[in-house]
Structure 1
């Protein structure tokens, strides 16, 4: 049995557009979006424990161990799997090497949770299928099933109704405006429009570059002026927009050279970086194996 997995990537996502089309009676918002995986990642290390304990091996500023989505994901998977041969549940030590900012709209916490489910499903030899992992993942957050899908997707519902989507190779420049945006505050805002007309996948596929908008952007930019400043500056080079509920702002380019030219002009007050579009999750080979084990 494999005992360790090191440097497991948890990639970021960008919302190429994000429309709020309604609101359910339970308060959840109905969305349409396209999720794009990029090669900017957190990385996680996993070590098998045979005493059933799940421990986080390092501190994550502002996140208690009991609240950490990786710890919660591991516990959820543990509850859904068979115990080891001696009747004891397997455990794990988890170390998180953060690169993605919290409150940035990049899906870092959800991606960390998904990578935990993928890695421990393999490490514990649990044998859950992709679909079974996704059913667990949605209990942790609406974005988690996307990262478990392993491919770029058009999403509907609260973000859990996913349709695989082929996207072109692109490069992105991403600005971290230096603020952390609480998602709940954006969705609670009275200024948020919730009636954007639904679109079809083909509407996006026929004109993917610059399609739609992010309905959350105006609210976040009003509450957090650095977001508006970043959008205005990056907008000089293309269709700059916010991802998710913020705070990160991005613009796409056809080549790495174009992205580099923008980065060379970046004002010093912002942390900024380039990322390449991914066609599939870096751990897709483990997802495929999960499916074969069913």
Structure 2
């Protein structure tokens, strides 16, 4: 197991460098001048623009800029935001807890509700419950997230008055419930269908028939034998889902006015704040890599037959 963990950690290094390099390339290739955009229509001397770019290192060649960013990153420096002249790490520290709270709320909702309804449908394949799940998940997959967001906002906030249309307090879980459910809707459909298919397939496996023939209680057969083996593909999907929820929060945070990572990325893109965008994406990449490693380690817990050489 130790060799496996060490090998996976070494594999993360080129993945991390490659992903950050690609996002750095895309931000560098965007048209426009971030310093000029900062001052809008205000007249600015070219010497002042050059001085600002020199202080931020924007006048250096591309590869040298990336090298400076990479070396600073390993020292905990994510760069400097052009508009506010604040360290990007401070900007992330303000926005990250909000998005993390929203994503964790959505992740728990996806895991509990998705696995539960998927298990119920998988235990009763080709029944009315199974067909109802199919219709529900197809509906959730078909509706775009921004349509789902505005529809939920109109129905539950304006028509029923059950919640506020916009999040005014990001620490209030009651206000975060509606945007979290909207954020989790698409993932919920995938988790439910994946759980249903895996359970229905394993229900016909030999080890389940053997457990039934031995006279084991149905609850033990389902929870210990059937569900444990059926969760392996679901855990694979959920392992990267936290990063997906954080990255997909741009639309949801915009609809419900949540001041988190998604909103910060959107504002940074409009101002061509490359350092802010790259810093946030770097953080999400790290979350993806760590989650992927945890998922691989969980395989051995869920299925003792899996061994890592």
Range into which the TM-score falls when normalised by the shorter chain: under 0.3
| Higher Rg of the two aligned structures | 2
**TM-score normalised by L of structure 1:** 0.27
Instruction: Determine which structure has the larger strand proportion and give its number.
Output: 1
